[in-house]
Amino acid sequence: MGEGPVSLSLRGISKRFGQVKAVDGIDLSVGQDEFLSLLGPSGSGKTTLLRIIAGLELPDRGTVVVGGQDVTRQPPYRRKIGMVFQNFLLFPHKTVAENIIFPLRMQRASREECVERLGWALNLLKLKGLEARYPNQLSGGQQQRVSLARGLISRPTLLLLDEPLANLDRELRAEMEVEIRRYQKELRIPFIYVTHNQEEALTMSDRIAVMRNGVFEQIAPRVEVYQKPATAFVASFVGQSNHLLGKVMQCAAGQLVIDWKGRELTVPCNETLGAGEAVRFMIKHEDVQLRAMGRASRDQAAFNRLKGKLRDIIFKGQTANFILEIDNGCELIASGSLRDTDVRAGDSVLVEWPQTAGVCFRDKP
């Protein structure tokens, strides 16, 4: 569970569309002060789950409890839940102010309340001075802020966001990621954020639920999802990893010795595996260290160490990817700063990483 008292709880939520199990028995508790992301590839069930929480879709099974009340059969407008969508959905013929207060008008709020809430929203979302403009007179970021203001205007107990930054350019997206997290921390209401973008989820969330085929593969604090992925799917979806396919040579408590195409590696593992079983060891690019020949780190025992050749350097600005050909004929990628590495393409190099780094799973066919 997340931070603070429970604000939303889902119990055994399932939804089918014909043969497709879009959501398959999801249980979830979201804390009052929590930013939770639903992260997963296209078709994993994120939007369906969000729509069930909002009341736009009825589950086949399970209950939705908001603020202690079972709202499973309540229509969306009774749930006090705000929503923000990818394509903003602003009314083109209404001004910014009219767009923002639209939900209050639907609730027949008083004029005083509309004015008071509008002032609050314009202030929070830095939209002062823009209230008389029309959506087509705004930048993408401003339009998204209007859409956020509209989602927040009627004091929702929970805000749902469905890929709200997908249509913005990279720089603006990075700026909005930080802002949206700040709004959530200021307002102290839970935000549930749907995305297939791991960077967004890692930047903003307290916890991340990684979805696949309608179920949660892992739900955990963001750092844990990144550093201790529970499954091979999560490990390949979050972060940039090398996948090393090998065979178990020895299995001891929490550790395996594996044969990776003729090279022996010691790797961490939580499963009990037998000799000869096929495994997939995943090590993040940034965990693979590159050293010029003859400059290996001193602690011989605690590292996996391999010889290879640096084939290419892919420069990415702050970091670079080093494409390596290991002497067993396999490729590995290391990433790091060019400044810290005095190697060139064509050099013979040593490659190493701590024996505690990476994750290893039984390789399922």
Binding residues for ligand ATP, rule: CB under 6 A, are 17, 20, 22, 40, 42-48, 196
Least separation in angstroms between CB 40 and ligand ATP: 5
> What is the rounded distance in angstroms from the CA atom of residue 67 to the CA atom of residue 30?
10
User: Of 39 and 350, which CB lies nearer to ligand ATP in the complex structure?
Assistant: 39
Least separation in angstroms between CB 76 and ligand ATP: 16
In this structure, what DSSP letter does residue 327 have? T
User: Of 48 and 289, which CB lies nearer to ligand ATP in the complex structure?
Assistant: 48
Least separation in angstroms between CB 103 and ligand ATP: 24
User: Of 43 and 62, which CB lies nearer to ligand ATP in the complex structure?
Assistant: 43
- Antiparallel, parallel or unpaired: β 81-84 and 35-39: unpaired
Least separation in angstroms between CB 145 and ligand ATP: 23
First to last CA, the chain: 33
Least separation in angstroms between CB 60 and ligand ATP: 13
> What is the rounded distance in angstroms from the CA atom of residue 48 to the CA atom of residue 53?
9
- Report residue 328 as tokens: 């067993």
Least separation in angstroms between CB 85 and ligand ATP: 11
Kindly list the distances between the CA atom of residue 323 and the CA atoms of 285, 289, 336, 343, 358, in Å, as whole numbers in the listed order.
10, 12, 12, 12, 18
Residues 6+ apart with CB under 8 A from 158: 7, 8, 30, 53, 66, 80, 81, 82, 189, 190, 191, 192
User: Of 44 and 99, which CB lies nearer to ligand ATP in the complex structure?
Assistant: 44
Question: How many other C-beta atoms can be found within 10 angstroms of the C-beta atom of residue 337?
Answer: 9
Least separation in angstroms between CB 156 and ligand ATP: 21
User: Of 20 and 65, which CB lies nearer to ligand ATP in the complex structure?
Assistant: 20
- Report residue 194 as tokens: 């749907």
H or E element, residue 183: helix 170-187
> What is the rounded distance in angstroms from the CA atom of residue 362 to the CA atom of residue 273?
8
User: Of 147 and 195, which CB lies nearer to ligand ATP in the complex structure?
Assistant: 195
User: Of 159 and 282, which CB lies nearer to ligand ATP in the complex structure?
Assistant: 159
Task: Report the candidate in 152, 191, 155, 160 with the shortest Cα–Cα distance to residue 32.
Answer: 191
